[in-house]
Amino acid sequence: MKRLKGDNYNIHNEILGRITFRKHIVGKSKYIYACKGFPNITAGYLATITESSLAQISSPIVCNVEEFSYLNEGDVVTINSDNGISVLYEKKSNHNSIMLTELCNHRCIMCPQPPISKENERTEFNLKLISLFDKKTKSIAITGGEPTLIGDKLFTVIRHIKKELPNTSISILSNGVKFADRDYAKKLELCSHFDLQVDIPLFSDIDSEHNRIVGAKTFFKTIEGLYNLALFNQNIGIRIVIHKQTYKRLPQLAEFIYRNFPFVCHVAFMQMETTGLAAKNIEELWIDPYDYNSELKDAVFKLARYGMNVSIFNAQLCVLPVELRQYAKQSISDWKDIFLDECNDCSSKLVCAGFFSSSKEIHSNHIKKTT
């Protein structure tokens, strides 16, 4: 999530609300009023956010907000007592997500957000958060940690989305292990959501290699989860993060996916985000994406020839061979998507995925303007 810095006053508990720049609005108790100058109307709002210096008011306020222009009407934020604003939902973005938990039963060596061991239960907070989303939201990703670790509360969240946002599609990012429990997979089907997909990572066609990368002996549980989801007619995607320990067998993994999971509706090959555990293990993981183009091309074309829906996520167009660029998608969340100076005036900038903000120092040596 994007965090904005500011000076917080009169804030003793976490405040969750929808941003508005309007001075007069129905239902002020759900809104946080944002204004550039001195706020002369604050009554009834949850809090006030401003670019200006401290205003002498007794209600909750955040002053001297940096990157104030990042905020838009309808965004949803939290304000805490630690001098910060967290942007949890961006009305104009196509990459909104809800983190159900930071707990995880895997410890992937390239995880950009390492799991924690203990946390407060957050389902009620997330239900309230969802209720503040714009009704025209196209899609939401349910993430973690591992979302299934909250048990049946996952289905409570899905049903709440279905009620509050009936036209919004859902992508669940899960390691798939919990769906090895057939009864649990059945409960997902019973949610009867019109457009829901479970996206599951698979890092090798060899069980011991996958297990080593995820830090758990769960390869066959993940496989069983994939089959149970298919049994109950769920949409399934497979995601493959490419790094030094996965790139060599991409063609074999592609063949394995087709032979064993021809029912999946999408396969995504993903350039690695170099933060979290990936940064810690960078010497073991980093390979210039240009250097695995041969294996990537073989894998992508193999699946495409088999008629499978395949994409490349997080990749810069100039690094990819021309024949692979049609598979590249703009997939990086808006708040952490950047471009380098080398990208200035590039003719492909508007359709390129760009870079994770963590990749500013670690990226391909083959970045150049495309023509």
Q: Are residues 206 and 118 in the same domain?
A: yes
Evaluate whether residue 274 is within a structural domain: yes
Q: Are residues 111 and 62 in the same domain?
A: no
Number of domains present in the structure of the chain: 2
Q: Residue 284 in contact with residue 244, Cβ under 8 Å?
A: yes
Show the domain range for 224.
Answer: 97-359
Give CA–CA dist 272/363, Å, rounded: 10
Q: Are residues 314 and 197 in the same domain?
A: yes
Mean model confidence pLDDT for the chain: 95
Task: Give backbone dihedrals phi and psi of 34, rounded to 5 degrees, phi first.
Answer: -115, 130
Q: Are residues 25 and 118 in the same domain?
A: no
Axis-axis angle for helices 153-164, 123-131 (nearest 10): 10
Query: Which CATH number goes with the domain that contains 295?
Result: 3.20.20.70
Query: Which CATH number goes with the domain that contains 75?
Result: 3.50.30.10
Q: Are residues 188 and 101 in the same domain?
A: yes
Instruction: Tell me the helix, strand and coil percentages in the chain, rounded to 5.
Output: 35, 20, 45
Evaluate whether residue 366 is within a structural domain: no
Q: Which positions ≥6 away from 227 have C-beta within 8 Å?
A: none
Q: Are residues 164 and 227 in the same domain?
A: yes
Evaluate whether residue 238 is within a structural domain: yes
Q: Are residues 169 and 50 in the same domain?
A: no
Q: Are residues 353 and 303 in the same domain?
A: yes
Angstrom distances, CA of residue 130 to CA of 19, 41, 140, 326, 348: 14, 27, 10, 34, 35
Give CA–CA dist 182/59, Å, rounded: 51
Q: Are residues 35 and 122 in the same domain?
A: no
Q: Are residues 64 and 116 in the same domain?
A: no
DSSP class of residue 55 equals -
Q: Which positions ≥6 away from 69 have C-beta within 8 Å?
A: none
Evaluate whether residue 364 is within a structural domain: no
Evaluate whether residue 271 is within a structural domain: yes
Burial class (CB in 10 A: 0-12, 13-18, 19+), 145: buried
Q: Are residues 82 and 112 in the same domain?
A: no
Which of 87, 116, 144 terminates a domain? The answer is 87
Evaluate whether residue 368 is within a structural domain: no
- Which residue has 């946390």 as its token pair? 119
- Give the alpha-carbon dihedral of 281, 287, 288, 293, to 10 degrees: -140
- What b-and-e string marks burial along 315-327, b requiring 16 or more CB atoms within 10 Å of the CB? bbbbbbeeebbeb
Q: Residue 75 in contact with residue 65, Cβ under 8 Å?
A: no
Evaluate whether residue 299 is within a structural domain: yes
Query: What pLDDT is attached to residue 1?
Result: 83
- pLDDT tens-digit map of 234-274: 999 999 999 999 999 999 999 999 999 999 999 999 999 99
Q: In the chain, which residues have pLDDT < 50?
A: none
- pLDDT tens-digit map of 267-283: 999 999 999 999 999 99
- Centre a 10 Å sphere on the Cβ of residue 365 and count the other Cβ atoms it contains: 9
Which of 33, 67, 87 terminates a domain? The answer is 87
DSSP class of residue 17 equals E
Q: Are residues 48 and 140 in the same domain?
A: no
Which of 87, 107, 133 terminates a domain? The answer is 87
| pTM attached to this predicted model | 0.94
